[in-house]
């Protein structure tokens, strides 16, 4: 095994931390900017309709004269907020299910494992559309749909981490010292599981955002009057044949960039909390 100087490890860790902070700051800036320009994103000016990208309108304008940069920022903010809420609820479900499977005995483990396999056997987008449609679509329909379909993968991770911690030598030593199950869970299991849980939570965000945009694009998500990337992309399809490429290209690139920022944040956070990858 090659020896690496300690200062190189410290330098890698600082770069990793800097990349994580940059990704989080950029995402926060997108959300704040989107909230601030929500009113401006709906302002129409038919004298400025169908303008190509320019200095005055970097993303161009649409068929109603609305500025596409403002619409894209407002749409990203809406999509990110929906993704955050849905991923947060989904992670809580994953934590509960993983803990029940790991600590509830063989029958509970078998039941949760069967449910996880069942959920993962059904395509996310199909189940999400059914749930969103059954709940009347809209904000809450798509949010609940994303939340109840994205927990299985994280639940498996939580289950595996708890089982590994449960069988560790330090937990066995704590039992022999007479510590109660509640004390063991608070002092040993929570600190052991929490880092991987947080990483899994952050990595849920891009999936939630993409699936929200996909369902909205197909017409089963957020309503047309609400700024969202899925709505913008869906509406732009009717105008691509007329040469107005900017209506879809710039919002699509912005969505991909946002998803990549979440992935960058999750990947670098994993390096920071995982002792095996922190020295890479």
pLDDT at 11: 59
pLDDT tens for each residue of 13-43: 788 788 888 888 888 888 888 888 888 788 8
**Is 235 domain-assigned?**
yes
Decide if 160 is inside a domain.
Answer: yes
Contact present, 229 and 176 (Cβ < 8 Å): no
**Predicted confidence band at 278 (pLDDT cuts at 50, 70, 90)?**
very low
Task: Residue 69: give the domain boundaries.
Answer: 13-39+62-273
In a domain, 202, yes or no: yes
Q: Are 94 and 162 in contact (CB under 8 A)?
A: no
CATH of the domain at 238: 1.10.3720.10
Domain count, the chain: 1
Say yes or no to pLDDT of 6 above 80: no
pLDDT of residue 1: 43
Determine the Cα–Cα distance for residues 80 and 209; give it in Å rounded to an integer: 6
pLDDT at 2: 47
What single string gives the DSSP state of each residue in 37-89? TTTGGG---GGGTTPPS-SSSTT-B-TT--BHHHHHHHHHHHHHHHHHHHHHH
Q: Rounded mean pLDDT of 134-155?
A: 87
Look at residue 10 in the predicted model and tell me its pLDDT.
Answer: 56
């Amino acid at each position: 095994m090659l020896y690496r100087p300690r200062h190189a490890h410290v330098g890698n860790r600082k770069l990793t931390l800097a990349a994580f902070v940059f990704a989080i700051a950029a995402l926060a800036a997108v959300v704040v900017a989107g909230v601030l320009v929500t009113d401006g994103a709906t302002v129409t000016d038919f004298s400025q309709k169908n303008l190509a990208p320019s200095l005055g309108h970097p993303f161009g304008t649409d068929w109603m004269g609305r500025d596409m940069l403002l619409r894209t920022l407002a749409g990203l903010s809406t999509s990110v907020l929906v993704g955050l809420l849905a991923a947060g609820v989904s992670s809580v479900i994953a934590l509960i299910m993983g803990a029940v499977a790991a600590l509830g005995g063989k029958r509970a483990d078998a039941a949760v494992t069967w449910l996880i396999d069942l959920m993962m056997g059904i395509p996310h987008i199909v189940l999400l559309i059914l749930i969103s449609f059954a709940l009347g679509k809209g904000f809450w329909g798509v949010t609940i749909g994303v939340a109840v379909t994205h927990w299985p993968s994280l639940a498996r991770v939580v289950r595996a981490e708890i089982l590994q911690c449960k069988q560790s030598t330090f937990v066995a030593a704590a039992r022999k010292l007479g510590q109660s199950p509640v004390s063991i869970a608070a002092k040993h299991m929570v600190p052991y599981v929490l880092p991987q849980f947080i990483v899994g939570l952050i990595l849920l965000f891009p999936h939630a955002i993409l699936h929200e945009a996909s369902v909205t694009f197909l017409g089963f998500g957020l309503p047309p009057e609400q700024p969202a990337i899925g709505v913008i992309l869906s509406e732009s399809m009717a105008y691509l044949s007329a040469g107005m490429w900017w209506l879809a290209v710039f919002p699509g690139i912005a969505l991909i960039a946002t998803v990549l920022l979440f992935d960058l944040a999750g990947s670098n956070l994993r390096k920071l909390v995982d002792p095996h990858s922190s020295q890479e």
